[in-house]
Amino acid sequence: TETTKTPDLGTYGIWRGAAGLPPELGTAIEKLGFGTIWIGGSPPADLRIAEKLLDATEHITVATGIVNIWSSPAAEVAESYHRLEAAHPGRFLLGVGVGHP
């Protein structure tokens, strides 16, 4: 049986809406020593914003807060999660919730 460990979130993190998170900002946030970048604003199910941030950084955790279950197909979110976890093991935290229907 495979067990999943929650990624290290660090002591402090940064929350910002998905539209305001270019990869270069992720690199700068990581260099400042923050532990997690929290993506706000219900990012789309493809999670490309998280992927770009993970690709541009080396160790910071990237988390969604939250992917909206009303507007994001579960199968697409699951595929995206597994893609990110395979490429960046232990650095992505998927938050899902109801948000606003």
Q: Identify each DSSP E strand in the chain by its residue range.
A: 13-17, 36-40, 61-64, 67-68, 92-93, 96-97
pLDDT of residue 37: 98
User: How confident is residue 5, by pLDDT bands cut at 50, 70 and 90?
Assistant: confident
pLDDT for 60 equals 98
Residues 48-71, mean pLDDT to the nearest whole number: 96
Residue ranges of domains in the chain: 25-96
Is the pLDDT score of 4 beyond 80?
A: no
Q: What is the pLDDT of residue 1?
A: 55
pLDDT of residue 6: 87
**Tokens matching residue 19:** 């539209």
